Chains A and B, each alone.
Chain A
């Protein structure tokens, strides 16, 4: 007799051949492990410490990304990049160099993450892979080194939460509004150590780009992983983007969860996370009118095709307000190329945006747009901590690309509904969708 299983239980069962108990410590084989220029230096130090760790278990399952400070803004960063290139060459590991893109986007672009996989990355936003039904989670440099060397890592089996998304989201809502609303509800420590499974009939209307945004920010509520099922939407995405069939993986009806929550999508409205915490979530209309100095549209959270289509809906035929910098950094070269082909880069540039691609720079205050004292930014990134994007007396409001683009045009925080066509549907489920400017 087999009991109904949660998605998390099915993923562990796939690796262990049995369903482990909550809280049990298990050793899991890892399908993919990656690190980037912000975390690999310490991993390399660890690997040099002992012969047991100074090897790579399988070069095909290890990847390195130069994305945090790319191209190098300092000599220190250039030295890190040089060490990574040497390591990759020596061990035959794939290195995604300057200009390829941000790790979490590139693993999707390249089809490196698939349903059922266990993925660890030395970056907290590795949870983005949950959108692809992978048990994907962030680890530190020591764990990354151990996983690279041995292909295994211990994990504590997390408690599991069903987060039901019911109804259909209004057209002006994006994944960012959904996940910020959830974080505002459960707070930044509300899901510490738990596996959050997104379920419900609302999923049918949530695109893969938006699912990636939602999974990406699961870590901002403390979750170990934010999992979507590989439903019809996900499977169609794999067919169109990678020409592959992936298995249907979803929780069984009647699976038992440690906690159940529900979010009614039709009730959503555009929101922001006000500084200095990600869970300080308010409707846009409550902060409307606040003047902004900089707008950033990009990052592993919101640097995808759908995000710039949403921004283009607002920026087309309009100009970025005088005195405001609007910085757009698509997450990867592939995203950039698709935007280029569809005329969206033209719209961004003609509106007055600064456009680059494939770096984390502005999100972490590394390069390409640090904030000065007293400046206010609207950013599509995932964290608004004090000093995150520059001076400690600067302020960051997190928002969807539509809300960010609206702020760029008016020079103040603005409800995007004021500038969007009434029929706009910002989440587009069809993976072959092309924007017609």
Chain B
């Protein structure tokens, strides 16, 4: 995974739940593979998101992103769709943990969600801890993930880390 992520912003509000990202009912539909669930990502909030999103695009949301179920399908499907990072004012903890585990950068910022509009150009430098909205010319620093978590993210998730290093990160 690149340390610098560049893409367009998809702006969402507060309390985006795992049900918004992928509804639980699809886990038991005529679906066995994650790819088959892609058409239902953000079904009610951004219809056909999987067709519209481009690799590296960034989700910019408000408070309480990832509220709800422990279903790891949610961050995995965002990553599979091409989302490069999720920026939000706060994250619910299971979603946050799942995202790190599968190698999807999740970043807590306060000002960027206030100024960002749909389609703005966003740049995230994970190591330097800076998010920039190039369209609006606004920059915000964030606390970069601890070294161990950054290593997991860079490996592309904890499974990739274990495969590469042949040991757990702790």
Contacts and interface: CB of A to CB of B under 8 A. Distances in A.
A141 B167 CA distance: 19
Contacts, number: 134
Given A140-B72, A366-B25, A52 B167 contact: yes
Nearest to B146: A25
Contacts of B14: 189
Interface string A180-201: 0000000011001100000000
Contact of B19 (A39, A52, A150, A385): A385
Given A192-B90, A224-B93, A49 B159 contact: yes
A69 B28 contact: yes
A104 interface: no
A342 B136 CA distance: 67
A141 B72 contact: yes
Contacts of B67: 188-189, 222
B61 to A, nearest CB: 12
Q: From A138, A141, A224, A277, name the one whose CB has the most chain B CB atoms within 10 angstroms.
A: A141
B70 A122 contact: yes
Contacts of A126: 70
Contacts of A52: 162, 166-168
A364 to B, nearest CB: 4
Contact of B94 (A50, A140, A150, A366): A140
A166 interface: no
Nearest to B64: A189
A193 B93 contact: yes
Contacts of A150: 168
B30 interface: yes
A42 interface: yes
Given A39-B70, A150-B168, A46 B31 contact: no
Contact of B24 (A27, A38, A46, A79): A38
A193 B32 CA distance: 32
Interface stretch (A169-177, A253-261, A386-394): A386-394
Interface in A16-60: 25, 27, 38-39, 42, 46, 49-50, 52-53
A142 B158 contact: yes
A79 to B, nearest CB: 7
A88 interface: no
Interface stretch (A70-78, A307-315, A320-328, A403-411): A70-78
A141 B98 CA distance: 8
Nearest to B168: A150
Given A42-B72, A76-B30, A387-B19, A146 B168 contact: yes
Nearest to A222: B92
**Size class of A's contact patch?**
35 or more
A121 to B, nearest CB: 8
A150 B90 CA distance: 30
B68 A383 contact: yes
Contact of A189 (B19, B32, B90, B170): B90
Q: From A27, A75, A124, name the one whose CB has the most chain B CB atoms within 10 angstroms.
A: A124
Interface residues of B, number: 47
B139 to A, nearest CB: 25
Contacts of B101: 140, 142-143
Given A76-B29, A364-B24, A387 B71 contact: no
Contacts of B157: 142
Interface string A134-150: 00001111110010001
Interface in B144-170: 146, 148, 157-159, 162-163, 166-170
B23 A365 contact: yes
B17 interface: yes
Interface in A405-420: none
A222 B169 CA distance: 27
B73 to A, nearest CB: 7
Contact of B31 (A39, A76, A387): A76
A123 interface: yes
Contacts of B169: 154
B42 to A, nearest CB: 12
A387 B43 CA distance: 10
Nearest to B30: A76
Interface of A: 25, 27, 38-39, 42, 46, 49-50, 52-53, 68-69, 73-77, 79-80, 121-124, 126, 138-143, 146, 150, 152, 154, 188-189, 192-193, 222, 224, 277, 364-367, 383, 385-388, 392
9 pairs of A and B residues whose beta carbons are closest in the complex = A189-B64, A140-B98, A140-B72, A142-B101, A364-B24, A69-B28, A141-B72, A385-B19, A77-B28
Interface of B: 14-15, 17, 19-20, 23-25, 27-32, 44, 63-64, 67-73, 75-76, 90-94, 97-98, 101-102, 146, 148, 157-159, 162-163, 166-170
6 contacts: A38-B28, A49-B159, A141-B70, A142-B102, A189-B67, A387-B44
